[in-house]
Amino acid sequence: MSVRNTVNLSPSDLKYLLIDSLRLYSDNVVFIDGKNPYRFSINKKTFYVFIHNVHESGEGRGNQDECRIQVAKSKNFNAAMNSGTDVIVLGYLADEKVFTAWNPFLMRDRFNRKQTISLYSRFSVQRVAATNKIAAYRDTKGQSVLSFLPDYLGLYLENLSTIHLLNDVELLALVNQSDTLNTQNLDGEVDFPEGHLTITHTRYKRDPRFKSIVYDAYNNKCAMCSIGLELIEAAHIVPHSHEKGTDEIGNGISLCALHHTAYDRSLIYFDTDFNILINTTKMEYLEKVGLDSGFRKFQALAFDKIQLPTNHTLRPNVENINLANQARGIN
């Protein structure tokens, strides 16, 4: 019986999927630029990530369990391949919420010889990964193709040089160790015969002085909805993970817990005129994957404009606003 991917995500959807998935692993994630492949940094290391929806292999292949993505070289793809930065190729099966990754170090020669290549896996392996967190398919050449939940995309990138060498038992041990450390906000290391692997769940500690300055500037109220009630938080405009994500007041804004999370998740943002805007592209993505419940209620909670400090020197820096929107993947 054929298994079809009934949900196809757009390039913008896939970009936000990548951002959200990497942030499950670490706070130290920055979207830099790109149009598939997208350029990210995670834990201070930079990658290009090309991503495509997984689909059936097509008529004539004779194996209904077989699936693939096709990668056609483009100007953007060639530039990434020639940049000296690692280029990762991922498939995504939205029905199972699973990534599939092919060993990038074994693909470069194929890309050099052909304009378009097909990369194969198995639907059954992706279903196993949806249940067991991670699973491997080994093709006719013995090459390991990994499928895993979004929680482990950061772990995969961090251990790119070794992870495709691990066997099934080692892969499961690695993700279980990552889960254990993540719940404790700890980092760690794992040694296997194939090599040394690291687990870096960077979680930033907040500077109490930054919080105090921001709270005072905004009179202990959310700049988007005016709620106080001891529910506010000092939010960084340019994310703390970015090299320009400072603790200066021009990079701070007071937000309630809801709007802080929404801002960091790119659901809501503000422009240089301080208009509060819904990111419709992100909302369309959430609607496709069934995570859009409560949108109307959420939309009604915010003002049209940021409630600014009366002292102009305490207001957000315009350069920071533009940089922050770029870092959150907002065009």
DSSP 104-140: GGGTHHHHHH-SEEEEEEEHHHHHHHHHHSEEEEE-T
Query: Could you give the CA distance from residue 93 to residue 71 in angstroms, rounded to a whole number?
Result: 16
Report whether 328 contacts 266 (CB < 8 A).
yes
Query: Could you give the CA distance from residue 166 to residue 115 in angstroms, rounded to a whole number?
Result: 30
Query: Could you give the CA distance from residue 289 to residue 97 in angstroms, rounded to a whole number?
Result: 9
Query: Could you give the CA distance from residue 68 to residue 83 in angstroms, rounded to a whole number?
Result: 26
- Entry pTM: 0.83
Cα-based distances in Å from 130 to 38, 173, 248: 25, 16, 43
Closest CA to 108 of 79, 68, 81, 84: 81
Report whether 151 contacts 24 (CB < 8 A).
yes
**What digits encode the pLDDT tens for the residues 148-204?**
999 999 999 999 999 999 999 999 999 999 999 988 888 899 999 988 999 988 776
Report whether 86 contacts 104 (CB < 8 A).
yes
What pLDDT does residue 164 have? Answer: 95
What pLDDT does residue 185 have? Answer: 80
As a whole number of Å, the end-to-end CA separation of the chain is 41
Report whether 189 contacts 198 (CB < 8 A).
yes
Show the DSSP H helices in 198-305 as ranges: 208-217, 257-264, 280-288, 295-299
Query: What is the mean pLDDT for each group of 10 consecutive residues in the chain (331 residues)?
Result: 66 92 89 91 92 84 85 88 92 94 85 82 95 91 91 95 94 94 87 91 76 93 90 91 86 94 93 94 89 84 87 93 90 72
Closest CA to 53 of 84, 112, 108, 10: 10
Closest CA to 22 of 79, 90, 84: 90
DSSP 8-state class, residue 184: T
Report whether 72 contacts 115 (CB < 8 A).
yes
The secondary element (H helix, E strand) that includes residue 54 is none
Query: Could you give the CA distance from residue 211 to residue 69 in angstroms, rounded to a whole number?
Result: 46
What pLDDT does residue 295 have? Answer: 84
Report whether 222 contacts 234 (CB < 8 A).
no
Query: Could you give the CA distance from residue 263 to residue 306 in angstroms, rounded to a whole number?
Result: 13
Residue listed under structure tokens 């991922």: 90
Query: Could you give the CA distance from residue 120 to residue 102 in angstroms, rounded to a whole number?
Result: 9
Which backbone phi and psi does 80 adopt, to 5 degrees?
A: -65, -45
What pLDDT does residue 1 have? Answer: 40
